Amino acid sequence: MFKVQKPIFMIKNIVFILLFIAVADTELSAQRYRTAAGLRLGSPFGLTVQQVLWGQNTLEGILTHHPKENESALTLLFENHRKIFSKRFNYYLGFGPHIGWIDEQEGFDNPYGVTFIGGIEFAMKNTVLSWDYKPAVNLSGGRNTIYHQTGISLRFIIVKRKKKKINWKFWEKWGKRKK
């Protein structure tokens, strides 16, 4: 017979796998930007800011509001991006903490927990368009234990990534000495 794993054990496994992917990655960056900010449209809607940390790893902050539920949340996600066809088109996976605020009249405690994310993004000129699936697990508080969210984000590139110049004439450096 198969044993059913406890949810916390499954979460630890997922976190370990995501950390392994992020640390084991040695490829060049998949993003064409350093900083991008914009709107997140979906369930719920909000604002998003994404900052490249190093290589293909970003930190994304998402502030959302769900008007029907009188609930807001702040999520901070560590994400690892991988290119699919080019630097302009890639997918990403990540996770991070979230904290929420519920209208006091609703009778629920403010939630906090862990959020996971997976999505694809496409960069064109000065904009980044992405679609993602973002399940959130409340460790305490909230209306539900698990939330399933999806959204489309339209971010505008604030700081572009500097292009690296490759010196193909490496032999020219051999004859020069430092003074």
* CATH number, domain with residue 147: 2.40.160.20
> Is residue 174 in a domain?
no
> Is residue 176 in a domain?
no
More confident residue, 78 or 72: 78
pLDDT of residue 174: 63
Range in 76-80, 90-94, 167-171 with the lowest mean pLDDT: 167-171
Q: Tally the residues of the chain.
A: 179
Domain total of the chain:
1
> Is residue 156 in a domain?
yes
* Residue 137 pLDDT greater than 60, yes or no: yes
pLDDT of residue 115: 92
> Is residue 166 in a domain?
no
> Is residue 86 in a domain?
yes
- Buried b / exposed e over 95-127, threshold 16 CB at 10 Å, is bbebebebeeeeebebbbbbbbbebebebeeee
> Is residue 2 in a domain?
no
**This prediction's pTM:** 0.68
pLDDT of residue 51: 86
- As a whole number, mean pLDDT of residues 65-79 equals 86
> Is residue 165 in a domain?
no
> Is residue 66 in a domain?
yes
The secondary element (H helix, E strand) that includes residue 86 is strand 71-86
Distance CA 107, CA 123 (A): 42
Q: Which domain holds residue 81?
A: 7-160
